[in-house]
Structure 1
Amino acid sequence: MPPTTSSSSSHQLPSPTMSTAAAATTTTEEPPVLIPSLPDDVALNCLARVPRSHHPTLSLVSKPIRTVLSSTLFFTARSLLHSTEPLLYLSLRSPLSPSLFFCLTSRHENDRILTPVPPIPSAPIGAAYAVVGSTIYVIGGSINDVPSANVWALDCRFNSWQPAPRMRVGREFAAAGAVDGKIYVMGGCVGDTWARSTHWAEVFDPGTGTWEPVASPIEVRDKWMHASAVVDGKVYAMADRGGIVYNANNGEWESVESELDMGWRGRACVVDGVLYCYDYLGKIRGFDVEEKAWRELRGVERGLPRFLCGATMANVGGKLLVVWEMKGKAVEIWCAEIAVEKREGGRELWGEIGWVDKVGFFPNGSIIMHCLAAAV
C-alpha cells in the first residue's frame, strides 16, 4: 500500500533561485538620470559649463543634479573643461576670532555678499597665504605667541579644512607665493640656530606633500616680511629693511629695486605684470616691473573713496578687486571690481570700475587681513 501523503506537502514551496530572482526584480531600480534623453557623461559635460551664479537655481531642478553639483566628479569635469571660475576669499580678524574666512558670492548681478566659510580649526595670527588651484594654504602664524609650523589647506570646492604637511620650522609674518604649482615660503623665523638658518626659505610641493629647504644667502636671513607677491615666476618679499626677490626658475636671489621698495605700501596684487597697492593718500598705484616705475591708476577717482582704509587687493579673473573698510557704528566691508589696462605705450595706467558694493558688516575692531582668489 503506498504511503499516505500529507495534504500540506501538496503545496510546492518556491525554490531559492526563484525567490532571489523575484527579490532582485522588485528591489533593483534604474539609477536616476541627470538629464532625460541624454547619457550621464554628456549631461555632466553640459552641467559643468554652467556659470556658478546659476548653480543655486540649477540645484532646484532635480535631486540628481543637486547631488552632482557638490561631487568631486563635477569639479573635476569643470577643471578639465577649463570652466572653473575665480572666487574671492577674505580673511578677517574680529573681536570674535583672530581668523575668520568668507567667500564673496553673487545672489544676482547687483547683490553680492560675503558668506561665511567654516572656521579654521586652529586660528593663527600673522599667517602667510598662498593659492594652488582650488586650494588656499594658510601657512604658519603664531599661536599663543609662539611661531607655528602648522599649515592648513582650505579646499574651496567644498569649503572644508584639512591639515597639510608641517613646515620644518615655525614662522609668523613670513612671505609666501606659488610658482608653477609649488609654494615658496621665506622669513618669519628666528635665524639663531643652524637648523633654522638652513630652512629660512622652504618650498612645498602639494603633489608629493613634502617640504624642502631652499638655499639662501646669509645676509637675507634676518629679514622679517610684511608683504609678498609673485611676478613672472619671481617671489617678491618685502621686509622692514629692504626687500628681496627669489627667482624660482633659476634659484637666484636678487635685491628689490629701490623704486619698488620705497613705494610698496600695504597688501598688493599683480595684474598683467603690474603690481598694485595703495599709497599713504589712499590712492591706487601700480608698479610696472619692466618699466621700473610707479604710476597712479587713473579713471577711478570718482567711484572710490578718497582714502581706502585697510584696503587690500586681489586678481580675480584678470580684474583688480579692491576690498576696504568703512568705519562707523560697525565696520562695513566694501568691494569694487576694476578692469585695468596700460595706455600710451605703458606710460599710463587706467581703470574702469565695473561695480561697487557693500558686501558685509562686522563688529567694531574688525580688520581685513588678506584677500585672494581661488579657481572653483
Structure 2
Amino acid sequence: SPFLLECLNEQLTKDLKHQIFHTLSSVCLQKGLEPSLPNKAFHPHQKVIAPMNLQIEPPEKKKKNRTSPPPAPPSCPSFSLFPDEIFVNCLARISRMYYPTLSIISKSFRSLLSSTELYTARSHIGTTEQCLYVCLSDESYQSPQWFTLCINPNRTLTVSTIKKKKTVGKSLAPIPSSSDFPSVSESTLVVGSDIYVIGGPIKTELSMPKCTRPSSAVRILDCRTHTWRDAPSMIVPRNHALTCFYDGKIYVMGGCGELEEPWAEVFETNTQTWKPLSDPGTEIRNIGSCTFYTIKEIKGKIFFWNPNRAYAYDTSQDNWESYAELWESTTCLIDGGVQYYYIPKSACEIDGVWYFISYAFYHFRWTKDGGDWEVMKGLYSLRELYKRNGGSSRNTTKLVSCGGKLLLLWEGYMKHNPNNRKKIWCAGITLKTDDEGEVWGNVEWIDIVQSVPTQCELLHCLVVTV
C-alpha cells in the first residue's frame, strides 16, 4: 500500500520498497481487500508525496528572488488502518536480511518481526531461509556478542579494493547478548531455529579475562525472536567440550577431568533431559578432548579425530571404537570394507560435496564420495584479495554453507592501523560443476561487514534456518 511505503520511504531502498508494494497489493487482493490508494498514485522508484493543492504560476510571472517555505513532511498514517494479518503475510514474503532495517520503523513492526505468527507464516508459505549468525569475543565485552548478516541500505562503501559491482551493502547487525552467561565456549551448535551454547569456559572477572572456569550451564538463542533462555544444565561442568547433533540428540564429549563421570553425555532435545553415555575407556580419557580438532556424524557414528588417530561412538550400540593411525595423506578410514572419510573441522557440505579452505588460503578444496581433495577453480582473484587485505595464517578464517552457496569470513589486519582496529570481510561464492565434473567457484559479492578492535576474536559462524 502507498500509505505504508510513505512511512518507510526514508529507511528503505528502492528495491525493498518495490518488493513491499507488490507484496502488500497481492496479499490485499488475496484477502478480498482493495489497496488503500490506486496504483497510479505511487511509483516505487519515486518519493511518495502527500497530495496537495498547488497553484503553479506561468514561468513569465515567476519572481526570481521569491522563496517559498519548505513543505511540511507528510504525516504517517496509523498502522491500525491495516490488520496485523496483512502485515504478517507481507513480511513473511520478504527476505529476513531486511528485518533489522524494518525493525527501526516502529514498535509495532518490531513486535510483528519477532512474533511466532510471522515465522509460522514463513513456514506455511515456504519462505524460510538460511541466515548467518556470527559471534565475536573481546576482552572489553561483558559476554560474547552475537550478530546476524543483513542488508544495510544506507551504507556507503568507499573501499577501493572492492569492485562496485561486487558489493551489496551487507553488514553484521547486533542482537541482544546473554549478559548473564559470559561463555567463550567453542561448544556451540544449531538445532532447528535455535543456537545452543554449551558449557564453559566462563569468564570469572572482567578485569582478568584469562581467569575462567568450567560450566555445566546451557543457554539457547532463539533465532526467530532473538531472545535467550536456559536449558537444563549438564551433569558435569565442561570447557570446550566436543559437541555433535544427530537424530534429535546433542552428544557432548570431554572438556572435563580424566576421572570425572560421565566423560560423555547426551541431551534429548524432545524431553529436555541429560543422560550419561557409557565409559569410553582410559585411552580416550587420557588423550583429552582439547587434542581432538574435529567431530562429525557419519552413518550413525560420532567420529572425532586427533592428528594421529580416529575414534567413534556408535549411537545404536552405545559403544566406543578406535581406528588405526592416520597418515597425513589419508582421506578415509577403512573398517570392514566400509570407508569413513576424514573431514577437516573447517569443512562444510553442500549436496553431498565437502569444501574446505587450506592453511593460509593456499587452496580452496573439494571432495565427493571420499575421493582425493581437489583444488577448486575460479577463485584466484579472491585469494589475492584475501592476502592484500590482511588475510594470513595468523588470523581466523571461517567457511560455511548458506543457501546453496559458500560464505567465507576472515579477519583483515590493516598495515597502517593507528586506531588498533581490524576489518571482518565476507565473500559469497556460487558453485558450478562443469562437464568434466570439476567444481568452479564464482565470487558473487564481497563486503566489509564489521570493524572491530584488533584483539577481538571471531569465535563462531553458524547458519540457522528461520
TM-score normalised by structure 2 residue count:
0.63
User: For residues 371 and 55 of structure 1, do their structure 2 counterparts lie closer, same or farther at Cα, with a shift above 3 Å needed?
Assistant: closer
For 2:196 and 2:250, how far apart are their aligned partners in 1?
9
Shift in CA distance, 65/326, structure 1 to aligned 2, threshold 3 Å: closer
- Return the letter of the residue paired with 1:221: R
Does structure 1 residue 150 correspond to structure 2 residue 217? yes
1:153/1:66 Cα in 2 relative to 1: closer, same or farther (>3 Å)?
closer
1:109-148 equivalent positions in 2, closer than 5 A: 110-120=168-178, 121-143=180-202, 144=204, 145-148=212-215
Query: Which protein has the bigger strand share?
Result: 1
TM-score of the superposed pair, with normalisation by structure 1: 0.77
Q: Which amino acid aligns with 1:181?
A: G
More deviation in 179-188 or 312-321?
A: 179-188
**Counterpart position of 1:170:** 237
Q: CA RMSD in A?
A: 3.3
Look up the match of 1:212: 275
Aligned residue pairs total 338
Q: Which residue of 1 aligns with 2:257?
A: 190
Describe the superposition over 1:73-125 as per-residue Cα deviations: whole angstroms up to 9, x where unpaired: 11122223332111111111223236221111113571111111222221123
Contact 1:125 1:172 in 2 (8 A): no
Q: CA deviation at 1:301?
A: 1.5
1:371 and 2:461 aligned: yes
Measured after TM superposition, the shift of residue 272 of structure 1 is 2.8
Matched, 1:358 2:442: no
- 1:1-376 equivalent positions in 2, closer than 5 A: 35=28, 37-38=32-33, 44-45=88-89, 47-55=91-99, 67-97=111-141, 99-108=144-153, 110-120=168-178, 121-143=180-202, 144=204, 145-193=212-260, 195=261, 199-215=262-278, 217-218=280-281, 219-222=283-286, 223-224=288-289, 225-230=292-297, 234-239=301-306, 241-246=308-313, 248=315, 255=323, 258=327, 259-260=330-331, 267-286=346-365, 288=367, 290-304=369-383, 305-306=386-387, 307-308=391-392, 309-328=395-414, 329=417, 330-342=421-433, 348-376=438-466
Give the Cα separation in 2 of the matches to 1:181 and 1:333.
34
Q: Match of 2:426, as an amino acid?
A: C
Task: Give unmatched runs, 5+ long, in structure 2.
Answer: 1-26, 34-82, 154-166, 205-211, 333-340
Measured in 1, the distance between the counterparts of 2:363 and 2:244 equals 22
Identity fraction in percent: 35
Give how far 1:260 is off. 4.5
Offset at residue 148 of structure 1 (A): 1.1
Which residue identity does 1:317 align to in structure 2?
A: G
Counterparts of 1:284 and 1:232, CA distance in 2: 29
Question: Which SS does the other structure have where 2:380 is aligned?
Answer: coil
Structure 1: stretches of 5+ with no match in the other structure:
1-33
- The answer as to whether partners of 2:358 and 2:365 remain within 8 angstroms in 1 is no
Task: Provide the rounded CA distance (Å) in 1 between the counterparts of 2:316 and 2:401.
Answer: 22
Cα distance in 1 between the residues matched to 2:317 and 2:377: 36
